[in-house]
Chain A
Amino acid sequence: MGHYTPDLSRPEANHASLYRDPAIFDEEMEKIFHATWVYVGHGSEVPNPGDYKTSFIGQVPVIMSRDMAGKIHVFANRCTHRGATVCPRELGHAESFTCPYHAWTYRLDGSLEAVGLPRGYNDGELDYSGLGLPVAPRVGSYRGFVFASLNADVHDFDTHIGPAKKYIDYYCDLSPTGEITVGLTGIYKHRYRGNWKAQLEGSVEGYHVWHNHRTAIDIMSKWVPIMKQYQNLPMKAYDLGFGHNIIENYTLTDEQVHERWPAEFVELLISAHGRERAMDALRHRFNIVLFPNMAILEYHVRVIRPLAADRTEVRQYHTSMVGAPAAINQRRVREHEFFYGPGGAGGPDDLATFDRIQQGMEAWTAPWVLFNRGLKSEETTPGGLRFGHHTQETQQRAPYYEYRRLMEGKAPVPSRIRLAAAG
C-alpha cells in the first residue's frame, strides 16, 4: 500500500499496484474522476422536462435531470440536511425530489424549494439559497452525450471533446435524423472482480480479438466476413489526447457497404445527410474511448464505474438509430446481443479474462503490465496524434499519458472538490 509515484507508470509498462492498491484507487478517484470530465448520460434518457437519470461521477452519486425549460442539470444525489439520497431510482420522471427523511424538497435544477416543519428553524438557521443539492459546476454535451465535472477549473469541454467529434459524428450519422437513443433498447449490467482500467484498455483492444474472441469471430463472419481478416487489415489506432483513443475495427469499401446494408437504407442516409457524410457513417467501424469512464462501440455505449481497486461495474447501453427502418434497428438488436451481455458470444470472454487478470496480478514477483507492442514503430500524424496498427498498443498507452498528467498533479486539480450549492 502506498501512494502513486511517477516510477509506477511508463509508456511501455504499468506497475501492477495501479490495479491492486486501494490507496492508489482512492487517489485516482480524487485526481481523475473528481477532477476531469466524466460521462454521465445521454439526452435520450431524459427526453422530457422532469425526466431524470441517476448515475455516478467517480464515487459521487449524481442525478442528471431536465428542467421545465429543457436544460440538463447534474447534481449530487445527497440531501444537504442529513445525507440521504433524494432519488432512489435509475430512471424516471419527477416534479421535484423529496428526501424521505424530513421532506426536504428540491427543484429540477437542484435548488431547495421547501423543508418539512419549517417553523422549527429559528431565524438564520435555514439558508435556502445555500442548501441546494451540490451541483457539478461544469456540464457539457455533444450530440446528446452529457459530461460533467466536479472541478470548476477543468479545461473547457470543447477542447476536451474536440478530437473525438469526428467519430461521434460518424456514429450518430448512421441515424437518418442524426439522433440516437442510448439504453432505451436494452442495458446489460455486469460486475467483474478486477480493476476499472482493465475494461478501459479492453474497450479498444485490437490484439486479443483473433484469439480471445475466436469463437465469436467464427460465427459472426457469416454476416461480417471482413472480421475474419481482422489482424491483417491496414487499420490504425490513434491517441486522441486527454486519454481518449480510437481503434478502427474495419473500414468498408463502397461495395462492401452495399453488401452489408440494404440499398434502401443506404439511399435513406444519402438523402438525409448527403453522400459524403452518409458513406462516412456506413464505412467506418471503430471503438472510441472517452477517458476515463466511457466508450462508444458499434452497438452500444459502455460506461465503466470503478467500485474498488479490484471491483468494477460495466454497463452496455444499446443504441438505436432514430428514424432508421425497423428492420435495421432489429438487426442491430440481434447483432449486439449476439456478442455482448452475459449470454453473448464475445463480451463474457472479456469479462472472464479481466477476472483472471486480477488473479494473476497477485503475483507480485512479476509486477509489470506491458504496453510496449508497437512502441518503436509508432508514428505521429501531422496534427500530432500518435498512431499505430490496430493490433498494436498505441490505444492502450493513450490513457496513461493523461493518467500520469492528472496523477502527477501537472493538471490543475482543485485542492478540494468544489460542490457549489444550487442557487
Chain B
Amino acid sequence: MSVRTGPLQADAGPAVRPAPAPPRRRRVDWSAWRAFALLTAPLLVGLLLFKYVAMGWGLLLSFSNARGTIALGDWAGLENYRTLFGDPRFRTSLSMIVVFTLVIVPLTFAIALGLAVLVNRLRRGRALFRTTFFLPAAVSYVVASLIWKMSLFSGVPSSAANSLAALFGQEPTAWIATVDPPLYWIVLITVRLWLQIGLYMILFLAGMQEIPGELYEAARVDGAAGEWRLFRHITFPLLRNTSVAVTLLLVIAAFQAFDEFYNLLSTGLAGAPGPDGRPPLVYLYDVSLVQQDYGLGSAGAFVVTLLIVLVTLVQGRLVGFGRGDGE
C-alpha cells in the first residue's frame, strides 16, 4: 500500500477527532450519502428503467390490446392471459422447459462436479485439462449450434455422429429432424452440456480449493481412505454452498433457453410442424417480434418471469440459500 500511517499524520484530518457524543450520531453524514449516491446512481437508474419500469409497463401492456404497437392500447382485461393459456403452443412450451430443466440440470451438475474432482486430482497438466474443459465457455450458442447442426449431428453420412453410428452398422440418421423417438433431444442436450460444463466445473474447483487438506489427511489417518468415501464424507458435504449456487444458476439458465433452440430447430419457429421443442422464450419471440402482438407477448413474459421467480424462491427455501451468508 502507498498509504502512510503514523503518529505524524494522526492529527491530519477530522477523521481522528474523538468520537462524537452519542446524540450527535443522529446527524446525517452528508459526505457518505453523497458518495453513496454517486456510486450507485448510474446502476440504479439503469435497473429502475430497464427492469422495474420495463416490468411495470409490461404488466400494464399485458392487460391491453396491443397488436402492432408498443403503446398502451385499449384495456383488454384478462383477454391476453386467456389467449395465452388457451394456446397449446404455450402450454407445451412450459412443459417442455420443465422437462428440459429436469434433464439438463442434474446432468450438468454431475459431469461438472465429476470433472472438477478429476482435474483436482491431477498433479501435472492440471491447467491444461482445466483449459480444455473450460474452453467451450468462450464459444457462442450460435457457433455451437452451427457445429452441432451442420457437422456433428448433421444428417449427411459423413457427419461425426453418423460416422460413429456406421461403425456399429447403423444407417445415417437425421438427428434433428427425428421427433419420434425424440433424437433431437440428444442434439439439444449435448450442445448445452458442451457449452456450460466448463464454467460450473471452475466453480466447483474454486469451492474445492477452500477445503483444508488436513481434513483429508486426518481421514486417511483414521483409515477412512478410499477415494469414494473421502468424496462422500468430506468433499461433497463441504461443497454444499457451491452446489446450491450452481444448481440455482443452472435452473435459471435452463429456463432462459433460447439461442440453441432458435438456431437448431428453426423449422419449428413460426408454427410450422417442426419438432415440438419450442421453449417459452422462443414462443415469446415469435408472438412479440414476429406476430407483433405485444400485449400477448407481455402476458407471456410476465408468466415466464413469475415462474422463474417462483422456482428460484422455492428452490432457495428448500436448500436454504443464503443461510450462511453472514449478513
Report if A and B associate in a common complex: no
Mark A residues whose CB is within 8 Å of B.
Answer: none
A-binding residues in B (CB < 8 A):
none
